[in-house]
């Protein structure tokens, strides 16, 4: 099965935890995760951020669950990069 | 997530560390000053049975603890619920199950525990000489004097702590809290006249 190597999420989150703590908590999900968060807009109680996550086999459900458990809300998945599994047998019938 | 990490996260997102520190100093100072007032009052009242003095002070310490627990819980709980509601409105989402919702339940208990235990533990520390005097049948007056001394030391330490928090000169901060104690004692002595 193909695995996701990059995921870009548009997220609305409360000010706390801040982006540093959020990045740490997402990165803690897997040793291969590399997290890049950019703040797009800051409101009185919330902020819009773009989370650019790369890793070996990024788990979108686990990432969304972590964001939601911290009070955030995933507005959209803006970009995904997936890679075919190396152990998949090659052949003309495989799509 | 381990309990310690979970608590640390909840304290961080609810920005509770500063509030708990403030409660600790405010109510801890209350405890020290109440004990100081009681002990000086007992001291100037003349000879008194040590067990009566100890029970009176212990009663006041328990009342301070209950007052601290209940008042902080009621006010913090209302404040946290309001903050959660406002955050839900801003996020346009239900935050049930999130760390913010858990913080709204757990943090008021944590702050209440700090607010209640600070005056209680400080009072018990101040009363230690009275406990020892009762156990060793020592003179009540000396034990009262020693307890008054401990109360002043604790008030000075709270001042030093405040000085470190605020970044001001610790000696100046300690002198200010000690001055409050001295004024309190002076007022009690004045009332006795």
Residue range B157-188, pLDDT digits in tens: 999 998 888 888 899 999 999 999 999 999 99
Rounded Cα distance, B183 and B172, in Å: 16
CA separation for the pair B2, A61 (Å, rounded): 21
Range in B109-113, B141-145, B146-150 with the lowest mean pLDDT: B141-145
pLDDT value of position A89: 55
pTM to 2 decimal places = 0.81
CB contact burial A32-54 (16+ within 10 A = b; e otherwise): ebebebeeeeeeeebbebebbbb
Write the residue in B9, B97, B100 that is nearest to A14 by C-beta: B100
pLDDT at B126: 97
CB contact under 8 Å between B91 and A44, yes or no, is no
Q: Give the pLDDT confidence score for residue B173 in this predicted structure.
A: 92
Q: How confident is the model at residue A95 (pLDDT cuts 50, 70, 90)?
A: very low
Q: Kindly list the strands in the beta sheet with A46-54, ordered across the sheet, starting from the edge strand earlier in the chain.
A: A34-42, A46-54, A3-14, A73-83
Asked if the Cβ–Cβ distance from A71 to B95 is below 8 Å, we say yes
Looking at residue B2, its pLDDT comes to 79
pLDDT attached to residue B87:
93
| Chains A, B: CB pairs < 8 Å | 42
User: Contact A70/B98, CB-based, under 8 Å?
Assistant: yes
Chain B 61-90, residues with CB within 8 Å of chain A CB atoms: 86-87, 90
B18 interface with A at CB cutoff 8 Å: no
- Whether the CB of B187 is below 8 Å from some CB of chain A: the reply is no
- Run of H or E residues at A36: strand A34-42
B59/B66 Cα distance (integer angstroms): 11
Residue B135 has pLDDT above 70, yes or no: yes
Domains of chain A with CATH codes: 3-83 (3.30.70.1340)
- How crowded is residue A75: how many other Cβ atoms within 10 Å of its Cβ? 11
- Is some CB atom of chain A closer than 8 A to the CB atom of B93? yes
Q: Name the helix (H) or strand (E) containing A19.
A: helix A19-27
Residue with tokens 């995904």: A80
Give the pLDDT band (50/70/90) at residue B4. Answer: confident
Spell out the residues 6+ positions from residue B152 whose beta carbon is closer than 8 angstroms to its own.
Answer: B36, B178, B181
Question: Average pLDDT over chain B, rounded to whole?
Answer: 92
Of B14, B15, B99, the CB nearest to A70: B99
């Amino acid at each position: 099965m193909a695995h996701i190597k990059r995921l870009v999420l548009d997220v609305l989150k409360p000010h706390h935890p801040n982006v540093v703590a959020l990045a740490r908590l997402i990165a803690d999900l897997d040793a291969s995760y590399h997290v890049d968060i950019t703040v797009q807009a800051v409101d009185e109680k919330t902020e819009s951020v773009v989370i650019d996550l790369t890793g070996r086999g990024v788990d979108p459900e686990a990432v969304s669950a972590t964001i939601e458990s911290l009070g955030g809300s995933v507005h959209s998945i803006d970009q995904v990069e997936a890679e075919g599994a190396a152990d998949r047998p090659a052949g003309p019938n495989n799509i | 997530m381990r309990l310690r990490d979970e608590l640390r996260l909840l304290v961080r997102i609810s920005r509770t560390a500063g509030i708990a520190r403030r409660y600790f100093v405010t109510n801890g100072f209350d405890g020290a000053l109440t004990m100081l007032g009681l002990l000086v009052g007992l001291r100037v009242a003349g000879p008194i049975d040590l067990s009566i003095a100890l029970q009176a002070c212990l009663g006041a310490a328990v009342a301070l603890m209950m007052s601290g627990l209940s008042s902080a819980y009621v006010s913090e709980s209302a404040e946290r619920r309001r903050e959660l509601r406002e955050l839900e409105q801003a996020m346009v989402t239900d935050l049930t199950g999130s760390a913010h919702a858990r913080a709204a339940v757990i943090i008021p208990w944590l702050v209440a525990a700090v607010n209640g235990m600070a005056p209680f533990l400080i009072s018990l520390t101040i009363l230690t000489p009275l406990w020892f005097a009762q156990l060793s049948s020592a003179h009540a007056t000396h034990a009262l004097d020693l307890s008054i001394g401990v109360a002043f030391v604790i008030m000075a330490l709270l001042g030093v702590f405040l000085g470190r928090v605020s970044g001001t000169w610790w000696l100046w901060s300690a002198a200010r809290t000690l001055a409050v104690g001295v004024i309190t004692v002076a007022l009690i002595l004045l009332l006795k006249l």
